[in-house]
Amino acid sequence: MNILFKSLAEPSRISFGDEGKRLSPGRDEAAKFPQNVSQEDDDAATSLLMEYSTNLPALGLPVELVNEISGAFRRIESTLPPATTTSIIAACKARDLSVTAAVHAALIVALQELSSDAYAAERYTSWGTFNYRPYVNLDHTNPATHPVAVMLSRLPITFTTSDFYENASSLKPFYKQLQDPFNSAALHAMLAAYTRKCAALINQPLPPGVPQPTEPLVDSVGILDRYLDGRYGQGAVEITNFWLGGVVLTRQPLFHVWSWQGEMTLSMCYNEQFYTSKFMGAFVESVVGVLLKELDIERE
């Protein structure tokens, strides 16, 4: 995106016709995932995937609208001012928490407050996204020399829910793993098999009687100022706002958190056939409320 804005501000002549030679390799090749997986690693991949599939149903959003066919996606957000954002970051550091883990823990508490199913509310089961880009050869991922490559994968997480700080404690090792997916040789060895099994799983219907998951999928975009310059070509192009969306066709919304120019944003993408904007707006504000309350911060 940063290169796109630079190109808009300072356009140069582009020759087309040889793009194929610059196509990036797939994730497995770039990350050097072993393709010949041992039976032990294959069994480990199955066990990892079962952590998700055997812990459903779990904590999630109550579906407001009973529709079987999805509609258009919508997005709603809450942006916190710089002073509040600074206080959140300081409070998380003082408690040895990452901001993402704290926001995620607050979201789980907000889900608990909405839940009417005591059995499901006892377990939190979802997916976390990790990014391989910092850990593979730059020749494969540098957007200046290659088209943008998809270097992402998801790992399941499941644990017994509790209060904010216990939830955050359960999330800490998970996010530590996501920050460096290559810190475990065993995980690295099984990921090719794990990915194939995930693909097979999502193409299968849920077992009879198991409802579709509805927990928001949490994903941190990070500090955007590290990736976007903001002004390009002596002000010829200037970013005045940023938002991220995704087409959501299921009952699982996408929940993104990022900061830009000192302001933290919590954003939810959802399908209008399953949730109303009023409900989603109230839920996002509930997450903000839990976060500030638990970190002992007053909203400005």
Read off the pLDDT of residues 230-274 as tens digits, 9 standing for 90 and up: 888 877 788 888 888 888 999 999 999 999 999 999 999 999 999
> Is the distance from CB of 167 to CB of 157 less than 8 angstroms?
no
Q: Is the pLDDT of residue 35 over 60?
A: yes
Q: Which pLDDT does position 176 carry in this prediction? A: 80
Q: Counting beta carbons within 10 angstroms of the beta carbon of residue 94, is it exposed (0 to 12), middle (13 to 18) or buried (19 or more)?
A: exposed
Average pLDDT over residues 91-115: 95
* 257 bridge partner residues: 220, 266
Q: Which pLDDT does position 141 carry in this prediction? A: 64
Read off the pLDDT of residues 219-229 as tens digits, 9 standing for 90 and up: 999 998 988 88
Residue of 187, 153, 202 lying closest to 34 (CA atoms): 187
Q: Which pLDDT does position 257 carry in this prediction? A: 96
DSSP string, 142-208: -TTTSPPP--EEEEEEEEE--SHHHHHHHHHHHHHHHH-TTS-HHHHHHHHHHHHHHHHHHTSPPPT
Residues near 161 by beta carbon (within 8 Å), at least 6 away in sequence: 59, 108, 112, 121, 122, 123, 124, 167
Q: Is the pLDDT of residue 166 over 90?
A: yes
Read off the pLDDT of residues 68-89 as tens digits, 9 standing for 90 and up: 888 999 999 999 999 999 999 9
Q: Could you tell me the pLDDT band of residue 191, with boundaries at 50, 70 and 90? A: confident
Q: Which pLDDT does position 143 carry in this prediction? A: 64
Average pLDDT over residues 26-50: 84
Read off the pLDDT of residues 111-125 as tens digits, 9 standing for 90 and up: 999 988 777 778 999
What does the mean pLDDT of the chain come to?
86
Residue 19 CA to residue 23 CA, distance in Å, equals 7
C-alpha to C-alpha distances, 218 to 81, 128, 233, 280, nearest whole angstrom = 21, 7, 35, 15
Residue of 114, 94, 113, 92 lying closest to 103 (CA atoms): 92
Q: Is the pLDDT of residue 206 over 70?
A: yes
Helix 277-294 vs helix 82-94: crossing angle, to nearest 10: 50
Q: Which pLDDT does position 145 carry in this prediction? A: 66
Residue 85 CA to residue 90 CA, distance in Å, equals 9
Q: Is 100 helix (H, G, I), strand (E, B) or coil?
A: helix
pTM given for the model: 0.89
Q: Counting beta carbons within 10 angstroms of the beta carbon of residue 187, is it exposed (0 to 12), middle (13 to 18) or buried (19 or more)?
A: middle
Q: Could you tell me the pLDDT band of residue 147, with boundaries at 50, 70 and 90? A: low
